[in-house]
């Protein structure tokens, strides 16, 4: 007998139940990565491409040097299928007139949103050590990313805790990232700071304040406040890790790929008079370029 079916053995009609889950689970995966691409294919390819090099001085009579773009790395992103099944007895379905237990639609959709949020958050949380999410054998957040002879950093040489000085350093280092040709690749648009609930109050104080706390002349906070927003990610497992990404989704290389949308279906009743239900969804996350991202593992 299934666990769900056993809930109603003591009493045939369940008047009230408290489901120990949030009534609404916000989709935080979009804050970690941005919007998910969609596909009907088995996988999609994402490429990191080197742009053109700056022009060179050409003296009279010298031959013009030709240039071309070229692919540096390639990510083959293959969605993963996530499923969950449950069975109800015919008796349970008949006697559960208040639908407290068998109301699957909201309960299961919340469970699947939890999973998607966890998968997306792991892209950041494991981004200092895991080499399985990206285009090569490097971790997402590193002090030296190789781009075919050129390098750039999206992690401080010494990890720092979140605060005014850390926020400023992250923004500065994000702007100082280099392209595959060794030229500055300055991102000067809006940024999104991501952190666990433990630093939410600090993010509010740093980003929303008009003046910089602790400075002798009450320095204005425009450098941070005018370009920054923040999101609390409840699925981060570290109280001190924090991350920055470009708000403009064309300016960073984090990616989520959705394949089959969330769906729940009822299967045929079994000979044990059980009604099986199966829910499923397929997607995957990864990165094909570390530009436009920055993280500190303090």
Predicted confidence (pLDDT) per residue in 208-261, tens digit: 999 887 666 678 899 999 999 999 999 999 999 999 999 999 999 999 999 999
pLDDT band, residue 8 (cuts 50/70/90): very low
pLDDT band, residue 24 (cuts 50/70/90): confident
Q: Provide, rounded to the nearest whole percent, the portion of the chain with pLDDT above 90.
A: 69
Instruction: Work out the average pLDDT over 187-192.
Output: 96
DSSP SS3 for 227: coil
**Cα distance from N-terminal residue to C-terminal residue, the chain:** 48
Choose among 264, 270, 292, 275: nearest CA to 84: 264
Residues 6+ apart with CB under 8 A from 106: 23
Least confident of 31-35, 64-68, 83-87, 143-147: 83-87
Q: What is the number of alpha carbons within 13 Å of residue 204 lying toward its C-beta?
A: 7
pLDDT at 104: 64
pLDDT at 22: 75
pTM of the predicted structure, to 2 decimals: 0.87
pLDDT band, residue 9 (cuts 50/70/90): very low
Q: What is the pLDDT of residues 34-67, one digit of tens each?
A: 999 999 999 999 999 999 999 999 999 999 999 9
pLDDT band, residue 271 (cuts 50/70/90): confident
Is the separation of the CB atoms in 87 and 104 below 8 Å? no
pLDDT at 16: 66
Does residue 14 register a pLDDT over 60?
A: no
Of residues 173 and 213, the one with the higher pLDDT is 173
Q: Report how far residue 213's alpha carbon sits from residue 25's, in angstroms, rounded to the nearest whole number.
A: 34
Of residues 9 and 81, the one with the higher pLDDT is 81
Choose among 252, 286, 249, 240: nearest CA to 174: 252
Tell me which architecture the domain covering 29-48+73-296 has in CATH.
Alpha-Beta Complex (3.90)
Is the separation of the CB atoms in 32 and 133 below 8 Å? no
Is the separation of the CB atoms in 276 and 86 below 8 Å? yes
Does residue 169 register a pLDDT over 60?
A: yes
Residues 6+ apart with CB under 8 A from 235: 28, 117, 118, 120, 121
Q: Provide, rounded to the nearest whole percent, the portion of the chain with pLDDT above 70.
A: 87
Q: Which residues pair with 280 in a beta bridge?
A: 83, 263
Does residue 93 register a pLDDT over 70?
A: no
Q: Which residues pair with 274 in a beta bridge?
A: 89
H or E element, residue 244: strand 242-246
Tokens at 265, concatenated: 């279906």
If you average pLDDT over every residue of the chain, what do you get?
Answer: 89
Residues 6+ apart with CB under 8 A from 38: 257, 258, 259
pLDDT at 10: 45
The phi, psi pair for 74, rounded to 5°, reads: -135, 135
pLDDT band, residue 13 (cuts 50/70/90): low
């Amino acid at each position: 007998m299934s666990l769900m079916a056993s809930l109603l053995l003591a009493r045939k009609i369940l008047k009230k139940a408290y489901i120990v889950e949030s009534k609404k689970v916000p989709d935080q995966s979009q804050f970690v990565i941005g919007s998910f691409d969609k596909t009907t294919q088995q996988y999609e390819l994402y490429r990191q491409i080197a742009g053109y090099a700056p022009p060179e001085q050409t003296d009279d009579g010298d031959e013009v040097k030709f240039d071309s773009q070229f692919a540096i790395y390639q990510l083959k992103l293959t969605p993963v299928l996530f499923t969950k099944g449950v069975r109800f007895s015919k008796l349970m379905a008949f006697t559960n007139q208040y639908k407290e237990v068998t109301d699957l639609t909201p309960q299961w959709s919340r469970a699947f949103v939890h999973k998607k949020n966890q998968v997306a958050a792991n892209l950041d949380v494991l981004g200092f050590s895991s080499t399985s999410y990206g285009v090569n054998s490097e971790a997402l957040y590193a002090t030296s990313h190789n781009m075919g002879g050129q390098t750039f950093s999206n992690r401080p040489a010494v990890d720092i805790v979140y605060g005014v000085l850390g926020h400023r350093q992250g923004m500065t280092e994000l702007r100082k990232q280099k392209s595959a040709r060794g030229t500055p690749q300055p991102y000067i648009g809006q940024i999104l700071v991501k952190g666990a609930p433990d630093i939410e109050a600090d993010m509010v104080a740093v980003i929303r304040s008009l003046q910089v706390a602790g400075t002798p002349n009450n320095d204005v906070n425009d450098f941070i406040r005018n370009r920054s927003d923040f999101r609390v990610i409840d699925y981060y497992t570290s109280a001190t890790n924090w991350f920055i990404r470009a708000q403009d989704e064309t300016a960073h290389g984090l990616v989520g790929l959705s394949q089959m949308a969330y769906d729940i279906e009822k299967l045929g009743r079994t000979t044990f008079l059980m009604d099986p239900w199966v829910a499923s969804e397929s997607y995957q996350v990864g990165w094909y370029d570390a530009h436009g991202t920055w993280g500190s593992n303090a």
